[in-house]
Amino acid sequence: MGNVDMMILILISIFQLNIEYYRFEGGYTEFWYQIPVSQIFTPEQLESPDIVLKKYSYNVNIHNKKRNDSFHIEGIKRVRMTPEQKDYYIVDYLPVQLYPEHFYYHLEVISNSDTLLSEGKIEIPPDTILFYTSDLMLGKKKKGEFSCHNLPFIPMVIPEFSRFDTLFLYLEIYGLVPDSLYCNVKYHIIGWQDKLIFKKCERRPKYEVNQIDTLSISLDNLLVGEYQILVEIVDPALNLKTVRAHKFKIREGFPATGLMKFYYDIHFLISSNEYKKFCQLDSNQKEIYLKKFWSRHNYGEFEKRIMDADADFSTRLLKGRYSERGKFYINNGPPDEIETITMATWARPFEVWHYYAGGYDALFSDIKDDGNPRLIKILKPGEITTILESETREGDEGNWLFNIAPGTRPKTKKEEE
């Protein structure tokens, strides 16, 4: 072998190609694949501030050993990349028409000097089944130009989601009998040790012999781990059911920046001095800071606290997140208990937020009568109870306590003794 041939072999790199195939009615099959943008575009193109267009080639070999039958498909795909997409994936598919039988496939995607490869087996079931479904497709809703089967969603080739995502489910049902009004569809998500995590039952009207079923499921209550979704369809007219299943994962992570409504609102979580330093950074430095910041903080919990604060503490003139209680809630989380003390002869109304695990209480009172109770004092557990029971104050606590309880009296010398 010559040196030139050896150099060519060294330059060609082969990577595993992630694919998922979906079978539909009549042997129609789609091979969906997922490619990191970095394996299609060069480093220089990835750094470009403009939209970059690129071509890559593909070829598919499919073989049936029983009939010694095979065919080949090849072509060129075009893809564009914006600066916002450089850390994402290219997802696309190749359609093929197969007959009922077992097949071996060999799929290659070639770009630059890289070849991405996938090999495997696929079975196309016979058309003798009267009541059946397509393979179950899991994906995400997608805005913009991309659509799958005329619906705005993109299948997940690697079915990994974060709990900030909404899972979109797509299924085609074949062989419904139109002489009854509806079919029953049940959805189950099964977690660790076969625990039922999610259940939903729907009654779908039957308008065609073949029809599509879709469902969106919010994943915000699921923990990191592996799950399986089961879809069961029952046609009462046939007294038959068919079941499809698909595994998926919930991983660590937070949503894309564009979906994080409060991505820049870190002033709720850091000191005023730290926030001033952040504001003095340039745009690139801010992005680096924010990526590191949200890798250490739970953005989902932060967003939930802001929404809770707006719901619970807003007034006609002030959003709850900017109120004294709202800011404290966002920074410290919900208290274990809130104790409300109504107006007494010796004190104005106030609230005590008990944080039992943290070992402290927070005292709020509307000392300015503007509907925005101020944080008066962080207290030791039980400290306010002693004051309430005795209606007295010591010299050290006189300044803050007099604002909310001017009727409390100083301790006598005898009481101090």
Do 148 and 221 fall into the same domain?
yes
Q: Which residues contact 14 (CB under 8 A, 6 or more apart)?
A: 114, 115, 116, 117
Do 186 and 248 fall into the same domain?
yes
- In the structure encoding, which two tokens stand for residue 309, read together? 């604060």
Give the Cα separation of 55 and 81 in Å (integer).
Answer: 11
Cβ pair 180, 206 in contact under 8 A? yes
What are the start-end ranges of the H helices in 142-213?
none
Cβ pair 90, 77 in contact under 8 A? no
Last residue of a domain, one of 128, 145, 174: 128
Cβ pair 198, 189 in contact under 8 A? yes
Last residue of a domain, one of 107, 128, 149: 128
Do 261 and 397 fall into the same domain?
yes
Cβ pair 258, 82 in contact under 8 A? no
pLDDT over 90 at 75, yes or no: yes
pLDDT over 60 at 12, yes or no: no
Lowest mean pLDDT among 102-106, 167-171, 195-199, 403-407: 403-407
Do 282 and 306 fall into the same domain?
yes
Mean pLDDT of the chain: 84
What range does the domain containing 223 cover? 130-253
Do 286 and 389 fall into the same domain?
yes
Residue 225 or 394, more confident: 225
Do 272 and 238 fall into the same domain?
no
pLDDT over 70 at 407, yes or no: no
The DSSP code for 242 is E
User: What percent of the chain is modeled with pLDDT above 70?
Assistant: 84
pLDDT digits (tens, 9 = 90+) for 351-390: 899 998 889 999 898 888 888 999 988 988 877 776 666 6
Q: Residue 380's pLDDT is what?
A: 86
Give the Cα separation of 205 and 182 in Å (integer).
Answer: 4
Q: Residue 9's pLDDT is what?
A: 39
pLDDT over 70 at 319, yes or no: yes
Coil, helix or strand at residue 129: coil
Do 139 and 123 fall into the same domain?
no
CA distances 381 to 69, 155, 334, 359, 397, Å, are 79, 53, 17, 6, 16
Sign of CA dihedral 83, 85, 88, 90: negative
Domain containing 65 — which CATH number?
2.60.40.10
- What are the backbone dihedrals phi and psi of residue 195, each rounded to the nearest 5 degrees, phi first? -80, 135
Q: Phi-psi bin for 114: left (phi > 0), alpha (psi -120 to 50), beta? A: beta
Q: Residue 104's pLDDT is what?
A: 96
Coil, helix or strand at residue 47: coil
The residue length of the chain stands at: 417
- What are the backbone dihedrals phi and psi of residue 283, each rounded to the nearest 5 degrees, phi first? -60, -40
Do 135 and 175 fall into the same domain?
yes
Give the Cα separation of 280 and 282 in Å (integer).
Answer: 7
Last residue of a domain, one of 59, 93, 128: 128
Q: Residue 3's pLDDT is what?
A: 43
Give the Cα separation of 239 and 414 in Å (integer).
Answer: 87
Report the relative pairing of strands 337-341 and 166-174 from DSSP bridges: unpaired
Q: Residue 1's pLDDT is what?
A: 39
Do 274 and 406 fall into the same domain?
yes
pTM of the model as a whole:
0.61
CA distances 405 to 285, 350, 366, Å, are 48, 10, 12
Do 172 and 319 fall into the same domain?
no
pLDDT over 90 at 173, yes or no: yes
Domain containing 177 — which CATH number?
2.60.40.3880
Mean pLDDT across the stretch 82-100?
Answer: 83
Number of domains in the chain: 3
Give the Cα separation of 104 and 125 in Å (integer).
Answer: 15
Do 203 and 240 fall into the same domain?
yes
Do 68 and 33 fall into the same domain?
yes
